[in-house]
Structure 1
Amino acid sequence: MVAHSLTSDAYPPAVDEGEKQRLVEVIKDWTVANGLTVRPPPTLVAVGADPSGVLATSVPVTLFPSPFPQVCFDQAKGVQRAYNELYAKVSQDEQFLSFIVQEVGDGDEFIANLWKVHCRVKEEGYVQDLSFGLFRSDYMVHEDPSDAAAGLQVKQVEFNTIASSFGGLSTQTCRLHKFLADTEYPYFKEAGVHTKQNLPANDSVQGLAAGMEAAFKAYPKSELDLETCVIFLVQDGERNVFDQRHVEYALGKSSTTSRIPVFRLPFSETLQRTRVANTPQRQLIYSLPSNPDKKFEVAVIYMRCGYGPGDYPDTNAWDARYHLERSAAIKCPSVLTQLAGAKKVQQILAMPKLDPSAPSELSRFIPEDSQAWKDLWATFTNIFPMDDSEGGQAARKLALDSESCQRYVLKPQREGGGNNCYKAAIPPFLKELPEAHWKSYILMELITPPPVNNIILRNGQLEQGGVICELGVYGSCVWNQRTGKILHNEEAGYLLRTKGDQSEEGGVAAGFGCMDSCNLV
């Protein structure tokens, strides 16, 4: 069966060279004027040419919003609150997470070290019951080539529980395409029905800020008589700074009661700029670097770093993570919430039932007779373990076979782009990896999207052809880790990332993908 197109007309609209260049000029100016930007990569501007780090450049972006099925968009947004609740419950199940760590820890030192941080804090005693998640569930549209009657559905690529990025830039991308639809698209020489746009509003910036405000307000009044604040914990030399700034600025405006102080703290300076109070509550105290005598009590730590081994180059970095985890600040995420985002968790939750009468692994957290269970289950794709179980042995055969491996992607327990192994690269990769480490990976069946074409503007150059779109839906959730009570649970906007259909990775900041928005069809 040949996959069908999402639009009845040619897409993107036929534009000549003059019209393309007109769009390029408009987009370059609009993106810089509206903060749809990143710090330039070294491949574009050498470090020596910008020693003070003053330059910014347009984010890679599509010239047109990509066609995306309305039914799939609604499906993904509609299930987000159920996903928020699911992962809040996973983070509370220490026995389940302990099993996950045992399964993958021998082959994944990073996961093992995160668990050690939890164990150290648990031995001392946690002082903060509240947890906070800014989540993002990523999907692709799936079209089963063997079943035309199945229709289009979204299937989950992964669930992110830490540093769920691009919420700030996604709102700006939707504004860009709305601006172009109002001011540029109507005047093409061959303008017609195919230039009409159905562009959904996107309030991801406001949604993420509202979740952060809910966490901030849940933190009690300072017993130390200090002003409370929010800390954005960031990487040194962060290029994606403007994405984070949009959320920061929205948070500063969002409070209906009073201003919320927000400060950026490089992870490498954690132990220099913060201390844990010597009180039973173990409040986290932040010293303003420009005025060290000015102290704040940290209510919320929003982590935009710490999601991979590269953020922990030495023992000081792990000491810093422990230092934060043992404090009274509400963490986004806590170590347990970060571990809940491991790919192994996704694999177990999506595991097909071998015995129809037996309960699913998902029903450990969500009742199987509920609508939430059905909605979640509908988004799962086939994911297999790579362990010594019967299912794992079958997956190993699929992964090592030169033909069957073409239908799969091999994933480690990692966030961020550039970590996965695809198709024909899987067998040689596994043969170089000690077999004892195989169980720290999962094998996911590739999702088959319908064909889409678009034009990408990247570093001033146009790339036209087939693309693959990945929809991310944000969620914000605040809950009590001890009682399980959920204090805030909302869907918080969307992100569309697009890459050329010959690319296997989709990270925008990593240089693979670009920002996009939905033209609902």
Structure 2
Amino acid sequence: MTTSLTSGAYPPQLTQEEEQYLIATIKDWSIANGLAVRPPPTVIPAEADPEGIAAINTPVTVFPSPFPRVCFEQGRVVQNSYNELYAAVSRDEEFISQIVKEVAGGDEFIQKLWDIHLKVKEEGYTQPLSLGLFRSDYMVHQDTSTSPPSFQAKQVEFNTIASSFGGLSYHTSRLHKYLADTEYSLLQAPISSILLDLPENSATEGLAAGIQAAYHAYADSKLGHPKCVIFLVQPGERNVFDQRHLEYQITKAKPSIPVFRLPFDKVLTHTTIAGSPKRQLLYHLPRNPSKVYEVAVVYIRAGYGPGDYPDQRAWEGRHHLERSAAIKCPTVLTQLAGTKKVQQVLATPRPSSAPSILGRFIKDDTPAAGELWRTFTNIYPMDTSEAGLEARKKALDPQQAESYVLKPQREGGGNNIYRGAIPGFLRSIPEPHWGSYILMELITPPPVSNIILRNGHLEQGGVICELGIYGTCLWNQNTGNVRHNEQAGYLLRTKGDSSDEGGVAAGFGCMDSCCLV
């Protein structure tokens, strides 16, 4: 039995005139306020926009989606513990080494990242500080064993690199508040703004504050150069405005913080490493190479998947950054801490006679550990351990596989294998590679309906919502001292309930905001 999150008709039925008016209102507000993306070629072909000047409104829900207050608060409150947990994981080289051994046989990308760490370790790291801009993603789990059914936030994944959509999420919350104040009460089936509990969203400010904390923690240049922040980005980034909002927020600091965008494939072209023992990273302004900045922080929004490394030069560029004195967000070790295998191992149930694996980082029987355990869901290895062999049976059984998702060690949308596709997929790859995947029990949230505006057209029906809570953490990799640990706003992504993948940039989901119920 499932329970709807709303009583009555939500969203309200719209007349054709109301639909057209809301489409026009949302499109104009979105472009005027930067709730926008560059269009995919399927919407505006490259030959129709050769100069790349076009922008369209981000796919977005017409109404904020109902979301259980208890789950929203659960995710928000536990974020500082998650920040602390993943800072600790990234410091545990022995633990990460074991994770890499378990998955690298079927995942060359993970092995190559680890090789960069080993290479820099041999030379000696010169920057002990690490910055994390994290996002922990949840879906609502409905526990039908209670009466009435109760709700819990269960973690889908934890992102340690390129945790995107903070800028667009902030503006989506603003859009829905604007519509609540001006439009919803005028509908033929009106909604009073007083009845909508729309939480504040500080994502842009919160994420920027993390980068600013790292910038100020980096000492003034001994080489006499001004300091700067680098946004390392993918060439031709469609999600540019999301990133720009963060840049603009950082530059509001007094005194101003210089921020520059650097395509990942231009790292070796526009940066050098000083010949000093500290190995400062120097950025040579492409439009005026006589201007040289010392890079305090590299915020890495590229390099999270194999597609960003088409050749050896790309790997040399990542190594170049890793060995420098710039504070990395994230380091290679922090990126590896975000693999799905780490999530699976941390969620391994605690043996009755021994500490849990989570207890290696957050003491068992503490409130923080209890908060973390409540967010864990059932995740299994796909190796040759007893638990792994049991998981393989489930994954290969077409009937049992319907309750699971198979996940590789990847960030970004479009990488997972769902339900009935799992058995055939496993049989299509070498069995020694199976251990590089994890098997997660699907979370079945309560039914929600909404209307999505995508590419000028409305899509109405059942939707699935995924909550992301942002966190920022700055810590010393050598001592473990945490200098900054904050929860930093939220993201709500929504997709049609017939779609498995939820990535907005990948074209599956849309931006949304919470109406707490």
TM-score (norm 1): 0.98
**In the alignment, what sits opposite 1:344?**
341
1:145 CA displacement: 3.8
Any residues of structure 2 matched to 1:188-267 within 5 Å, and which? 188-192=187-191, 196-253=195-252, 255-256=253-254, 258-267=255-264
Matched, 1:310 2:288: no
The match for 1:504 among 500, 514, 517 is 500
In 2, Cα distance between the equivalents of 1:401 and 1:300?
A: 48
1:357 CA displacement: 2.4
Question: Taking every aligned residue pair, what percent have the same amino acid on both sides?
Answer: 65
- Is the contact between residue 185 and residue 192 of structure 2 (CA under 8 Å) also seen in structure 1? no
Any residues of structure 2 matched to 1:54-93 within 5 Å, and which? 54-93=53-92
Any residues of structure 2 matched to 1:49-448 within 5 Å, and which? 49-148=48-147, 151-192=150-191, 196-253=195-252, 255-256=253-254, 258-353=255-350, 355-448=351-444
1:358 CA displacement: 1.7
- Is the contact between residue 143 and residue 152 of structure 2 (CA under 8 Å) also seen in structure 1? no
The secondary structure found in structure 2 opposite 1:507 is coil
The one-letter code sitting in structure 2 at the alignment partner of 1:98 is S
In 2, Cα distance between the equivalents of 1:275 and 1:148?
A: 63
In 1, Cα distance between the equivalents of 2:319 and 2:414?
A: 27
The match for 1:453 among 449, 453, 468 is 449
In 2, Cα distance between the equivalents of 1:132 and 1:403?
A: 43
- Is the contact between residue 107 and residue 436 of structure 1 (CA under 8 Å) also seen in structure 2? yes
The secondary structure found in structure 1 opposite 2:282 is strand
Residue-by-residue CA offset, 1:228-255 (whole Å, 9 max, x unaligned)? 00000000000000000000000001x2
Residue-by-residue CA offset, 1:393-440 (whole Å, 9 max, x unaligned)? 000000000111000000000000000000000000000010000000
Which residues of structure 2 form unaligned runs of 5+? none
Please give the root-mean-square deviation of Cα atoms over the aligned residues, in Å: 1.0
1:196 CA displacement: 2.8
In 2, Cα distance between the equivalents of 1:520 and 1:15?
A: 22
In 2, Cα distance between the equivalents of 1:150 and 1:62?
A: 27
1:8 CA displacement: 1.2
Range with bigger deviation, 3-12 or 386-395: 3-12
In 2, Cα distance between the equivalents of 1:401 and 1:118?
A: 39
Change (3 A) 1:471 1:457: same
- Is the contact between residue 117 and residue 335 of structure 1 (CA under 8 Å) also seen in structure 2? yes
Range with bigger deviation, 136-145 or 265-274: 136-145
The secondary structure found in structure 2 opposite 1:292 is coil
The match for 2:464 among 463, 468, 483 is 468
The secondary structure found in structure 1 opposite 2:398 is coil
1:144 CA displacement: 2.8
The one-letter code sitting in structure 2 at the alignment partner of 1:114 is L
In 2, Cα distance between the equivalents of 1:439 and 1:155?
A: 24
- Could you list the runs of 4 or more consecutive aligned residues of structure 1 that deviate by over 6 angstroms after TM superposition? none
Change (3 A) 1:226 1:294: same
- Is the contact between residue 180 and residue 193 of structure 2 (CA under 8 Å) also seen in structure 1? no
- Is the contact between residue 5 and residue 452 of structure 1 (CA under 8 Å) also seen in structure 2? yes
In 2, Cα distance between the equivalents of 1:144 and 1:13?
A: 28
Count of aligned positions: 517
1:89 CA displacement: 0.1
- Is the contact between residue 347 and residue 442 of structure 1 (CA under 8 Å) also seen in structure 2? yes
- Is the contact between residue 11 and residue 194 of structure 1 (CA under 8 Å) also seen in structure 2? no
- Is the contact between residue 144 and residue 150 of structure 2 (CA under 8 Å) also seen in structure 1? no
The secondary structure found in structure 2 opposite 1:358 is coil
The one-letter code sitting in structure 1 at the alignment partner of 2:275 is N
The secondary structure found in structure 2 opposite 1:366 is coil
Range with bigger deviation, 322-331 or 6-15: 6-15
- Is the contact between residue 274 and residue 286 of structure 1 (CA under 8 Å) also seen in structure 2? yes
- Is the contact between residue 144 and residue 448 of structure 1 (CA under 8 Å) also seen in structure 2? no
1:148 CA displacement: 4.3
- Is the contact between residue 128 and residue 328 of structure 1 (CA under 8 Å) also seen in structure 2? yes
In 1, Cα distance between the equivalents of 2:269 and 2:191?
A: 60
1:448 CA displacement: 1.0
**In the alignment, what sits opposite 2:21?**
22
- Is the contact between residue 90 and residue 333 of structure 2 (CA under 8 Å) also seen in structure 1? yes
The secondary structure found in structure 2 opposite 1:79 is helix
The one-letter code sitting in structure 1 at the alignment partner of 2:276 is T
In 2, Cα distance between the equivalents of 1:297 and 1:160?
A: 28
**In the alignment, what sits opposite 2:9?**
10
Residue-by-residue CA offset, 1:114-153 (whole Å, 9 max, x unaligned)? 0000000000000000000000000000003455466100
Change (3 A) 1:430 1:33: same
In 2, Cα distance between the equivalents of 1:221 and 1:237?
A: 33
1:104 CA displacement: 0.2
Which residues of structure 1 form unaligned runs of 5+? none
- Is the contact between residue 394 and residue 401 of structure 2 (CA under 8 Å) also seen in structure 1? yes
The secondary structure found in structure 2 opposite 1:491 is strand
- Is the contact between residue 273 and residue 287 of structure 1 (CA under 8 Å) also seen in structure 2? yes
- Is the contact between residue 185 and residue 195 of structure 1 (CA under 8 Å) also seen in structure 2? no
- Is the contact between residue 204 and residue 493 of structure 1 (CA under 8 Å) also seen in structure 2? yes
The secondary structure found in structure 1 opposite 2:19 is helix
Residue-by-residue CA offset, 1:364-387 (whole Å, 9 max, x unaligned)? 000012100000000000000000
Matched, 1:516 2:512: yes
